[in-house]
Amino acid sequence: MDKAKRRHFCFDDRQSPWRVFGRNKMFARVSTYRPAPDRTGAPSEDTVRQVLDMQGCRGIYYLFKKDNKSLSITLWDDEKALEGSREVADRIRSETSAEQHMEILEVEEFEVLTREIKA
């Protein structure tokens, strides 16, 4: 992941809405890719399983945009799980990118402030 930038976004606990409402914090890692022109870069079932098997991983989304840009979003129980997953996530990202012939553009980490899915 030499070429990719890594940024970590975490808000002060005193400003976090999760603290106000007594909810647990969740964190996310967002990786941006440029797949080869004839590919989407979608992860294999094995790659998804490896990610979901990491301790503290809550889920994964993979998004593709027609201008040949894609994002993976992984969700983590807490900041400790996010930090603890970095080395393995970096390895999986590098291996998958090589297999899929895609460039890693950026990796960012965020605190999730809102998490709602309509049932």
Q: Is residue 48 packed enough to be buried (19+ CB in 10 Å), middle (13-18) or exposed (0-12)?
A: middle
Q: Is 68 left (phi over 0), alpha (psi -120 to 50) or beta?
A: left
Domain with residue 33: its CATH number is 3.30.70.100
This model's pTM is above 0.85: no
Query: Does a structural domain hold residue 81?
Result: yes
Q: What is the pLDDT of residues 41-81, one digit of tens each?
A: 999 999 999 999 999 999 999 999 989 999 999 999 999 99
* Phi, psi values for residue 20, rounded to 5°: -60, -45
Give the mean model confidence (pLDDT) for residues 69-98.
97
- In the chain, the number of structural domains is 1
Q: Are the CB atoms for 71 and 108 separated by under 8 Å?
A: no
Instruction: Find the domain containing 25 and state its range.
Output: 5-112
What is the C-alpha radius of gyration for the chain, rounded to an integer number of angstroms?
15
